[in-house]
Each structure stands twice: as C-alpha cells, then as structure tokens.
C-alpha cells in the first residue's frame, strides 16, 4: 500500500469513527434518552458532525484523492472503488460548510422531539415551525450544488447515487397503472377475514417470537441487539455492532414480527459487508433502494410467504392458542396478506404500499421546489390519501405525522422504499433460478443458502458498486418494475381467486 493511500485511509478511519460516534448518540436519543436531553444532544451531534465535516473536507484529502485517482484508476479493484466513492463524497461534502452541518444537527434534534410530541398529541402545529426550518435548510443545502434538472435530483442522489427524479417518475409511472388495475380487481373480490390479528397478544411473547425468527434468519445477537423506539430502524457502528429497533402496536400487535424481519434484512446487509472495508467509504450498503430490497425481501417475499408460515405457524399458534384457535395456516397466510387501503405506511400491505410512497414523493418534490407550503401539508396529505387510496386520515398522527424522516431533514429518501420493493422482486426471480428448491428450504426453516447468496452477490461488496450497476450485474437489467408486477399479480391472484 502506498504512503498516500495509507494516509487517506487513516483520515477516512477517523471520520468514520466520528460519524459512528454520532450514530451511537442518535440511537441513544431514540432508545434511551429522556426528552429534556434533546437540546444538549443536538449540540453534541453538531460538534461531532462539524469536526467530521472539517476533517473530511480538509485540502489534504483533496490533494491525496487527486494523486491517488491517477495511481488507482482501475475502479474494479477495492482500492480503486474506494477512491472513486471517496472522491464523489468529497466533492459533495466540500460544497457544504461545516457550520451548516452543525446547524442541521441542532435543528434536527429539536425537530425530532417536537415530532414525538406532535405525533402523541396528533397536533401538526407543534411540529410545523420545526419542519419549516428543516425544509429551509434543505433548500439551502440544494443551493450549495450546481443547478440540476430538478432541485430534488440533488437530494435523491444522496440516497440513490446516480438516480434522477425523472428516472423515478418513469419507473413509478410504469408501475402505478398496473398496481391500480390489480387493486381494482382485488376490491371486487371476496375479502379475507383477519379479525384475529387485532386481538390482544402478549407483548413480551410477540417480542420474543420476533427475536426467534430473526435469529433463524441469521441475525447475530453477539453483534447486535433489538430495542424499543418510536419508529423501527437499523443502525450500524461497525460490521460487528449492527443494531435494530422495533415497537409494539396495540392495534396491530403482530406488526412487531414483520418490523423485526424488515430491520433484520437491513442488518444482515451491514453484517455481511467485507470487514476489510471497515472505516472506509465502502463500509456500508451501496444505496437505500438496495438496502430496502434486502429488508422488503426478508419481510415480504420470505416473511409473508406460505412456506414460511408452514414452518413457523404451528409454534405461533401454540404460543397464542386462544387468539389463533380455529385459524388454519392458509387463513393466517391470507390474513397477513390482506389488501385493504390503510393509513399507516409501515403496516400497509404489499399491493397498496407503493401508493404511500408515490404520495410522499409528490409532496417531497413540492417541498423541494417550493410549490407546496408547509403549513398546508395536513390538507394536502389528506387530499392525496383520498386520491391514491380512497381514504382520509381522521387525525394528523394517522396522516402527515406518521413518519419520522422529515424531523431529521431526510427529504429525498422515500422513493427508495418503493424502488427497494421493485429490486427485491428482480433479485427474487434470479435467486429462484439459482436455488431451485428455495420454497422447500423456507418451509423447513432453513435460510442459510438464501442468506449466503445475498451475502456473496450483494452484501460483501458494500458500496463498491453503484445501485444500478449491481442490479444489472446480478439480473441483467437495471431497476425495472416488470418482475414486481409479476410477483404481485401471481400472489394476489391466488389469495383472492382473481
């Protein structure tokens, strides 16, 4: 290793340590911290963010990258890819003042606590001034970059490198009419029964069952843990410290199981990254869409499949005998896949989920280009819910306040959820060609071969390949909704006898 490369890795390691320390504080804020700690926590996050930003954007890093890009021009090598990704990140970070990073951290910490209070009281007015400030900062962030085809391109690129707003609109434009057609067919079919899912289930037993499932998937509790938080998420501080959070919902008690599977999918990705990438720009998943493809795969294509419950249902029924008395495995399978327009995105069924995302994408684009006034969001949200799903939220907690993302200034994020659904189906078709008896393995509770396929084809590469490139590399095409439509149509035609 050259002296210059060694020096670059040393700096990247220090920046990584600072960012991971900030992530620990962010995890603690949502899991353990008392509400009154928000202001101090914001200052702490601001300090770490500012130091990391200053260290990463130092002129020395620029000089090292300029020299190393000539020396390591082969981007197929690990070092060449690391330098390419670092150079891209450096160019973006160099445009953003450290003072701005610090300000955003302070504002975000206060906004999160305001969101928690606003959601608990179902009162958007509590969150309004904080969200207005966050959006103001997002627009300021956009101004640091050269004009793009659309202001939203700059935000989207942070989460989905290389993706354009026009790309996402085209993908969704092709998908939406096909999903609407499927939803209309389902609406005219006999509805499945699912009242037993909303009975009272013991929280501790549900939690324990969720951990049993993700342990089977391969989540290593020696390298992670599951804690309670207002909104489920995954966060990693190293390849050997990858944590998830979850929640228990009284009105949807078994949602805990699927949230655990979802966050476990994210965690398995991070746990599977090549350890040699630690403390470098390759150390995490390549994009949020690819990340979501992993979480949605484990949650839906595995966790909501009939073979999966043919294995796990007998034990679940034994654990909750009174709640599931007289319920067959096939009826349970149909119930957990019931298609019905609902208010809460994270609990939405697969056939309606993308509608939630398309709604949010339209709103985010409007916030980014200024065509939407923040104070009008509750009304806009409710109008779009009626348009997209035919239902109107009864209150702000059911509607505009349900997601945590905007409290942290994470605008540009949501489309990656639907893109992840699409990619998961593309990958699933390829996996089933490579693992001919996958359903039978799942039916026996065996997930090792599936997990190792994902690790070998995706996880181990971390951020080495851009998202479209890795999808092309594995499936032979870029992100395309055709496989996803096939998957949804087959699944729900069987469930609803279409």
Q: Are 85 and 463 in contact (CB under 8 A)?
A: yes
- What is the DSSP code (8-state) at residue 192? P
Half-sphere CA count of 481, side-chain side, radius 13 A: 19
Contact residues for 92 (Cβ-Cβ < 8 A; gap 6+): 145, 158
CA 278 to chain centre: 21
Beta pairing partners, 234: 244
SS3 call for 247: coil
| Most distant CA atoms of the chain, gap in Å | 70
CA dist 141 and 100 (Å) reads 8
For residue 238, which phi and psi values (nearest 5 degrees)? -170, 170
Long-range contact set of residues 77-85: C-beta below 8 Å, sequence gap at least 24: 78/274, 78/276, 78/277, 78/282, 78/464, 79/1, 79/5, 81/282, 81/463, 81/464, 81/465, 82/277, 82/280, 82/281, 82/282, 82/464, 83/5, 83/8, 85/281, 85/282, 85/463, 85/464
CA dist 176 and 198 (Å) reads 30
Beta pairing partners, 25: none
CA dist 73 and 232 (Å) reads 40
* 400, two tokens: 């505009």
The sheet with strand 241-246 has its strands ordered as: 226-228, 241-246, 234-238
Q: Which residues of 252-276 are buried (b: 16+ CB within 10 A; e: fewer)?
A: bbbbbbbbbbbbbbbbbbbbbbbee
Per the annotation, the verdict on 440 as an active-site residue is no
Query: Pick the catalytic residue: 103, 113, 234, 263?
Result: 263
Please identify which residue in the block is written with the tokens 């279409």. 498
**Which stretch of DSSP H or E encloses residue 219?**
none
CA dist 11 and 279 (Å) reads 9
Number of residues written out for the chain: 498
Q: Are 411 and 372 in contact (CB under 8 A)?
A: no
Helices (H), 407-481: 415-434, 438-443, 448-457, 467-475
Q: Of the candidates 435, 79, 467, which has an alpha carbon nearest to the alpha carbon of residue 274?
A: 79
Catalytic residue set = 263
């Amino acid at each position: 290793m050259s002296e210059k490369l060694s020096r670059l890795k040393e700096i990247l390691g220090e920046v990584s340590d600072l960012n991971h320390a900030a992530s620990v504080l962010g995890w603690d804020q949502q899991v353990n911290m008392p509400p009154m700690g928000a202001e101090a926590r914001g200052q702490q996050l601001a300090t770490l963010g500012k130091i990391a930003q200053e260290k990463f954007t130092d002129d020395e890093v620029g000089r090292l990258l300029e020299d190393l890009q000539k020396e390591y021009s082969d981007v197929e090598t690990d070092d060449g890819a690391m330098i390419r990704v670092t150079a891209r990140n450096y160019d973006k970070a160099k445009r953003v003042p450290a003072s701005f990073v610090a300000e955003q951290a302070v504002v975000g910490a206060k906004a999160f606590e305001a969101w928690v209070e606003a959601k608990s009281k179902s009162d958007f007015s509590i969150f309004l001034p904080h969200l207005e400030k966050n959006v103001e900062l997002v627009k300021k962030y956009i101004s640091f970059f050269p004009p793009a085809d659309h202001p939203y391109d700059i935000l989207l690129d942070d989460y989905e490198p290389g993706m354009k707003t026009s790309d996402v609109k085209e993908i969704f434009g092709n998908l939406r009419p096909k999903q609407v057609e499927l939803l209309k067919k389902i609406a005219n079919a006999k509805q499945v029964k699912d009242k037993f899912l909303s009975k009272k289930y013991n929280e501790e037993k549900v939690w324990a069952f969720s951990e049993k499932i993700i342990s089977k998937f391969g989540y290593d509790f020696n390298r992670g843990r599951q804690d309670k938080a207002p909104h489920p998420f995954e966060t990693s501080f190293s390849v050997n410290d990858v944590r998830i959070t979850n929640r228990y919902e009284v009105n949807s008690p078994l949602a805990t199981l699927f949230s655990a599977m979802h966050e476990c999918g994210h965690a398995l990705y991070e746990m599977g990254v090549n350890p040699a990438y630690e403390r470098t720009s390759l150390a995490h998943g390549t994009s949020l869409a690819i990340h979501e493809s992993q979480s949605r795969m484990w949650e839906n294509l595995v966790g909501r499949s009939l073979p999966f419950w043919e294995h796990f249902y007998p034990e679940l029924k034994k654990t909750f005998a009174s709640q599931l008395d007289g319920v067959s495995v096939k009826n349970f399978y149909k119930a957990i896949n019931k298609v019905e327009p609902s208010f809460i995105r994270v609990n939405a069924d697969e056939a309606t989920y993308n509608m939630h995302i398309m709604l949010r994408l339209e709103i985010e684009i409007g916030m980014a280009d200024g065509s939407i006034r923040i104070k009008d969001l509750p009304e806009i949200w409710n109008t779009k819910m009626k348009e997209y799903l035919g239902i109107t939220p009864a209150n702000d907690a059911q509607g505009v306040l349900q997601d945590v993302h905007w409290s942290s200034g994470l605008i540009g994020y949501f489309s990656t959820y639907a893109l992840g659904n699409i990619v998961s189906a593309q990958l699933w078709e390829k996996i089933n060609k490579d693992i001919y008896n996958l359903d039978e393995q799942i039916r026996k509770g065996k997930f090792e071969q599936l997990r190792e396929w994902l690790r070998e084809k995706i996880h181990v590469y971390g951020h080495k390949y851009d998202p479209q490139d890795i999808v092309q590399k594995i499936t032979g095409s870029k992100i395309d909704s055709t496989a996803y439509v096939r998957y949804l149509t087959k699944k729900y035609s069987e469930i609803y006898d279409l």
